[in-house]
């Protein structure tokens, strides 16, 4: 079903609310001098919660396109909208008591957070190359500014500079790929592109062009998801950015990147046939993506082994996790797609949790170095235990949620008979266990000579940590709603 512009507005409330929220925050920031510090976070939180409420209210029935085919509203998009709004809320709460951000004026930060969330919602929805490009740029431009938010800090500036140069080049390459695809198919609408590709025989010169298109567009999506070989910006940017922003970047734009990757490759370059997707003949792009996935997790894990800066280590770890998530997407099955969604969902809580502990420790210790985490267990048992649970979850140790994600991913891979692929993943998980355990060893086993001074944590931060711990511990028991929800969410417009 294609809806016109006016009819579409009924399904566009979450985005409209975020748009209103941005304007309100900007206005309150310039007009309310004394109150703005209190009011801005509340306004932002209200906008995000209201948007989440309306997203959950949206009819889950039939898939349709909005605004004359610009946006696709299907269960897949709804999953990502809920995911991204929850990520936005958690990061907002995590940024409130952060010493890094407290030093600079925070009004723009809240407006930017809303803008980047709006961009990501549109990204998850887009079904048209123009929309895809515009939403991707909206997310990119705002996140460049968020990374460089600490204006007087050398690291933050440098990170932002590297981010924008890498970002501009890879989106430029992606755009060139889009232009070639437009030339091949004569359309910018993803579903029309697929029909045009199916109608013609992709051989000879066309095949070369299609290979070029796949490589160039992978550059754009690979940049957003931080997949090898487009990951070079990731460790530097994650280290230099303010920690709440790093936490945000490692989860939300990455997830949105996976959403458009799936939408572009499965919605645009393959066709559904029964339970499986068949890719358009001419190029074996799933094999390209499998290679990318293997390289991504291996390189991420091996590089993380030697890092002594917690933020840098978690940056490489998030690269590795992008590899695991990609494992689900390249299988071209409903099971694989579902596994990817489950993994993303648990990744949200474990990764945000780990970064949030780093934020809290930085608040009082002003350090990201692993050596300074020595004896943390004696100083704050709660923090050390919380960090251990997040890290064990990231490894995928059974009682915690991370295990659920790994189980689904490896299960889906083995389902397809790709045993070597599953084996590479499992070996990687074993390597990853080493560097996560190393952090736990420093926090719990190693003590320094100084007498342990208790670490002060604000009540809000304790509450947020508990909020993040609960899904990590309980998801394994109450996994059936997640299972149902993700099974529902794999319906793509014009797809399975």
The contact set with another protein (CB under 8 A) reads 129-130, 133-134, 137, 141, 144-145, 148, 151-155, 157-162, 164-165, 168-169, 172-173, 175-176, 178-180, 182-183, 186-188, 235-236, 239-240
| Closest separation in Å from C-beta 198 to another protein | 17
Cα 226 to Cα 1, 120, 331, 396, distances in angstroms: 34, 16, 20, 21
CB 190 within 8 A of CB 264: yes
Nearer residue to another protein within complex by CB, 161 or 433:
161
| Closest separation in Å from C-beta 267 to another protein | 18
Whole-angstrom Cα distance, residue 128 to residue 267? Answer: 11
| Closest separation in Å from C-beta 178 to another protein | 7
Nearer residue to another protein within complex by CB, 46 or 305:
305
Q: Over the chain, what HEC string results?
A: CECCHHHHHHHCHHHHHHHHHHHHHHHHHHHCCCCHHHHHHHHHHHHHHHHHHHHHHCCCCCCEEECCCCEEECHHHHHHHHHHHHHHHHHHHHHHCCHHHHCCCCHHHHHHHHHHHHHHHHHHHECEHHHHHHHHHHHHHHHHHHHCCCCCCHHHHHHHHHHHHHHHHHHHHHHHHHHHHHHHHCCCEHHHHHHHHHHCCCCCHHHHHHHHHHHHHHHHHHHHHCCCCCCCHHHHHHHHCCHHHHHHHHHHHHHHHHHHHHHHHHHHCEEEECCEEEECCCCCHHHHHHHHHHHHHHHHHHHHCCCCEHHHHHHHHHHHHHHHHHHHHCCCEHHHHHHHHHHHHHHHHHHHHHHHHHHHHHHHHCCCEHHHHCCHHHHCHHHHHHHHHHHHHHHCCCCCHHHHHHHHHHHHHHHCCCHHHHHHHHHHHHHHHHHHHHHHHHHHHCCCCCCCCCCCCCHHHHHHHHHHHHHHHHCCCCHHHHHHHHHHHCCCCCCC
Nearer residue to another protein within complex by CB, 100 or 153:
153
Nearer residue to another protein within complex by CB, 130 or 287:
130
| Closest separation in Å from C-beta 211 to another protein | 15
Nearer residue to another protein within complex by CB, 127 or 344:
127
Nearer residue to another protein within complex by CB, 315 or 439:
315
| Closest separation in Å from C-beta 164 to another protein | 5
Nearer residue to another protein within complex by CB, 35 or 155:
155
Whole-angstrom Cα distance, residue 472 to residue 72? Answer: 31
Nearer residue to another protein within complex by CB, 324 or 355:
355
CB 237 within 8 A of CB 247: no
Nearer residue to another protein within complex by CB, 155 or 414:
155
| Closest separation in Å from C-beta 456 to another protein | 30
CA neighbor of 321 nearest in space, from 213, 395, 269: 395
Whole-angstrom Cα distance, residue 125 to residue 247? Answer: 23
* Distance linking the first and last C-alpha atoms of the chain: 16
| Closest separation in Å from C-beta 111 to another protein | 15
| Closest separation in Å from C-beta 269 to another protein | 19
Burial class, 206, CB count within 10 angstroms (exposed 0-12 / middle 13-18 / buried 19+)? middle
Nearer residue to another protein within complex by CB, 44 or 135:
135
| Closest separation in Å from C-beta 220 to another protein | 11
Nearer residue to another protein within complex by CB, 176 or 485:
176
| Closest separation in Å from C-beta 259 to another protein | 20
Nearer residue to another protein within complex by CB, 223 or 343:
223
Whole-angstrom Cα distance, residue 472 to residue 403? Answer: 10
| Closest separation in Å from C-beta 135 to another protein | 11
Nearer residue to another protein within complex by CB, 178 or 345:
178
| Closest separation in Å from C-beta 182 to another protein | 6
| Closest separation in Å from C-beta 19 to another protein | 17
């Amino acid at each position: 079903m294609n809806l016109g512009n006016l009819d579409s507005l009924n399904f566009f409330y979450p985005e409209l609310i975020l748009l209103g929220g941005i304007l309100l925050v900007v206005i309150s920031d310039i007009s309310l001098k004394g109150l703005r510090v209190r009011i801005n976070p509340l306004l932002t939180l209200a906008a995000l919660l209201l948007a989440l409420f309306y997203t959950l209210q949206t009819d889950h029935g039939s898939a349709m396109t909005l605004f004359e085919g610009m946006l696709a509203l299907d269960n897949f998009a709804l999953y990502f909208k809920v995911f991204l709004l929850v990520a936005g809320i958690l990061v907002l709460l995590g940024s409130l008591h952060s010493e890094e951000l407290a030093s600079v004026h925070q009004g723009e930060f809240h407006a930017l957070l809303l803008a980047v969330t709006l961009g990501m919602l549109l990204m998850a929805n887009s079904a048209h190359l123009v929309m895809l490009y515009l939403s991707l740029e909206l997310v990119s431009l705002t996140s460049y500014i968020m990374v460089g938010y600490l204006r007087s800090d050398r690291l933050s500036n440098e990170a932002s500079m590297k981010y924008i140069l890498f970002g501009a080049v890879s989106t430029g390459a992606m755009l060139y790929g889009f232009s070639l695809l437009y030339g091949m198919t004569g359309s910018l609408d993803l579903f029309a592109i697929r029909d045009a590709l199916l109608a013609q025989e992709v051989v000879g010169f066309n095949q070369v062009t299609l290979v070029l298109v796949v490589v160039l567009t992978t550059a754009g999506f690979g940049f957003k998801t931080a997949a090898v070989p487009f990951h070079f910006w990731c460790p530097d940017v994650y280290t230099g950015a303010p920690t709440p922003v790093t936490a945000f970047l490692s989860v939300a734009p990455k997830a949105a990147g996976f959403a458009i990757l799936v939408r572009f490759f499965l919605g645009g370059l393959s066709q559904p046939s029964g339970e499986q997707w068949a890719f358009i003949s001419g190029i074996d792009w799933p094999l390209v993506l499998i290679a990318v996935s293997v390289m991504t997790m291996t390189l991420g894990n091996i590089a993380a082994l030697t890092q002594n800066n917690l933020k840098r280590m978690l940056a490489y770890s998030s690269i590795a996790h992008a590899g695991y998530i990609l494992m689900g997407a390249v299988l071209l099955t409903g099971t694989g797609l579902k596994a990817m969604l489950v993994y993303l969902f648990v990744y949200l809580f474990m990764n945000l949790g780990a970064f949030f502990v780093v934020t809290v420790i930085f608040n009082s210790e002003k350090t990201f170095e692993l050596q300074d985490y020595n004896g943390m267990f004696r100083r704050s048992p709660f923090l050390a235990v919380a960090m251990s649970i997040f890290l064990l979850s990231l490894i995928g140790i059974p009682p915690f949620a991370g295990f659920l994600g790994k189980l689904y991913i490896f299960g889906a891979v083995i389902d397809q008979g790709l045993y070597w692929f599953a084996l590479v993943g499992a070996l990687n998980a074993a390597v990853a266990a080493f560097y996560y355990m190393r952090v736990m060893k420093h926090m719990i086993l190693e003590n320094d000579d100084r007498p342990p001074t208790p670490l002060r944590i604000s009540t809000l931060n304790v509450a947020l940590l508990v909020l993040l711990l609960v899904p990590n511990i309980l998801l394994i028991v109450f996994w059936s709603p997640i299972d149902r929800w993700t099974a529902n969410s794999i319906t793509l417009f014009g797809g399975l």
